[in-house]
Amino acid sequence: MNTSEVAPQEPVSQVSPQQIAANDWYGASFPVEDFQAYTSPFGYRQSPDGGYSTEFHYGLDMAAPDGSYIRNWWGGEVIEVSDDSNCGTSVVVQSGPWMHIYCHMRGHVEEDSRGRYMIDRDGGIQIWEGQEIIAGGRIGRVGMTGRTTGPHLHWGLKYDENWVDPALVLRAMYTTQQAAQAGSSGVQ
């Protein structure tokens, strides 16, 4: 970290890893199939455009082959589909106080008399604003739309309007789900 960094422009949650770990994550889904690597963490980083500027990265980048399916992390309602920002083709889901954002997907947004939807015809995906989606449901595919240099999922998470480091949640999910597996097969 260098001293020229400015504070994040958007609110970042002060929720602690312990508070996140206290949730029941048993039903949550890892958000990408064919996951390869975490390529950029939440927090300050050098601008991917090069140069010396730093920026705050409000999400976790997860590399996966172009066309890999993305799974909805937690059951909820699609509150927005979009295809005209740095985030590229994207879907936003609200699950109680949690908002989860999926960026750089394949496909684009269309609209008809029934509303707006994200469509990825080759992937068999059509996601409507207002639609309820279960945890683990396929909501798109990894692509390269928006501001990106390679195929990956940019996954953003907010709790009560404040950004949260998605890696904290993934770690808590892993711990919960490992414990549940041990519990179901341990004492016999």
Per the listing, tokens 């309007």 go with 161
| Choices 4-12, 43-51, 68-76, 148-156; region in contact with Zn ion by CB under 5 A | 148-156
Segment interacting with Zn ion (CB under 5 A) among 31-39, 61-69, 112-120, 137-145 = 61-69
Q: How far is the CB of 125 from Zn ion (least distance, A)?
A: 21
- Tell me how far, at minimum, the Cβ of 174 lies from Zn ion, in Å: 21
Q: Indicate the residue whose CB is closest to Zn ion.
A: 154
Element (H, E) at 21: helix 17-21
Min separation Cβ 124 and Zn ion, Å: 26
| Nearer CB in complex with Zn ion: 117/158 | 158
In the complex, minimum distance from the CB of residue 182 to Zn ion, in angstroms, rounded to a whole number: 33
d(C-alpha 129, C-alpha 169), whole Å:
25
Could you give the count of Cα atoms lying within 13 Å of 72 in the half-sphere of its Cβ? 23
CB of 152 to Zn ion, least distance (A): 7
Select 103 or 139, whichever has its Cβ closest to Zn ion.
Answer: 103
Interface residues for Zn ion in 80-139 (CB under 5 A)? none
Specify the pairing of strand 54-57 against strand 108-112: unpaired
Q: Taking CB under 5 A as the rule, does residue 154 contact Zn ion?
A: yes
Residue count at the site for Zn ion (CB under 5 A)?
Answer: 3
Dihedral sign computed on CA atoms, order 42, 143, 170, 78: positive
CA 69-73-74 angle, 5° bins: 140
From the number of C-beta atoms within 10 Å of its C-beta (0-12, 13-18, 19+), residue 26 rates as: exposed
Where along the sequence are the contacts to Zn ion (CB under 5 A)? 59, 61, 154
